[in-house]
Amino acid sequence: MPNVDWWFKGPSIQTCNCDWGCPCQFNALPTHGDCRAVTAVKVDEGHFGDVDLAGAKWVGMFAWPKAIHEGNGEAFLIMDSGTSDAQREALFTILKGEETEPGATIFNVLAATFTEFHPPQFLPIEFDFDLERRHARVMVDGLVEASTEPIKNPITGEEHYATVRLPHGFEYLEAEYASGNARATGPIPQDWSQAHAHLNIMELTPSGPKM
């Protein structure tokens, strides 16, 4: 059982190289055989023990040669340069899946699938998020930019809105699905457009998501 009580809540941006909807969300194999993803979270409120996590931001870049559950993945984390040393230590603990009930959060589940962790970097992160409009953007100058927009009907151009509920999910219980774009350099290059994305207000505890 976890020894430290923690909780955080804030907007979350997720985009990957799969087609809209992402088969992984429904226990199916990835669209192109491999998995690549860019994620970003901004903490509006939260704590790790006595450490206030409000204001912290991070961007994660990930890659797996096949399906995620087959392992051999690599991870690269950028944490906002404005985070304090105490916040960094607390967040690294959470993001490594520690102080968490087994299998309860996406961080704990994914931790076992990585074989390579690139050294983290601490840089300014720009983060914009509009859940209702499905518009979001995260940018680290010179390293990564990812954005989302509504999925559009290929014939009419009309915006298509889809909400997915996963009552037993370990990342979210409900998320808005969108179209995502990503470009990244660094140790895990990324490059896609008009691919899967989902947005939600992430609220996690050691026991799993609340939203």
Structure tokens at 120: 């983290």
For residue 1, is pLDDT > 80? Answer: no
Q: Please write the tens of the pLDDT for every residue from 70-104.
A: 999 999 999 999 999 999 999 999 999 999 999 99
pLDDT of residue 211: 85
- Give the chain's mean pLDDT: 96
Q: Write the CB contacts of 132 (distance below 8 Å, at least 6 apart in sequence).
A: none
Scored b (16 or more CB within 10 A) or e, 22-60 reads bebbeeeebbeeebbbbbbbbbeebbbeebebebbbbbb
pLDDT of residue 3: 87
Radius of gyration of the chain (CA): 16
User: Helix H segments across the chain?
Assistant: 85-95, 106-111
Q: Please write the tens of the pLDDT for every residue from 127-185.
A: 999 999 999 999 999 999 999 999 999 999 999 999 999 999 999 999 999 999 999 99
Per the CB < 8 A criterion, the answer to whether 192 and 182 are in contact is: yes
Q: Please write the tens of the pLDDT for every residue from 183-206.
A: 999 999 999 999 999 999 999 999
Q: Would strands 51-52 and 57-64 be described as parallel, antiparallel, or unpaired? A: unpaired
Mean pLDDT of 33-48: 98
pLDDT band, very low/low/confident/very high, at 2 (cuts 50, 70, 90): confident
What residues are paired with 192 via a beta bridge? 182
Q: Please write the tens of the pLDDT for every residue from 41-79.
A: 999 999 999 999 999 999 999 999 999 999 999 999 999
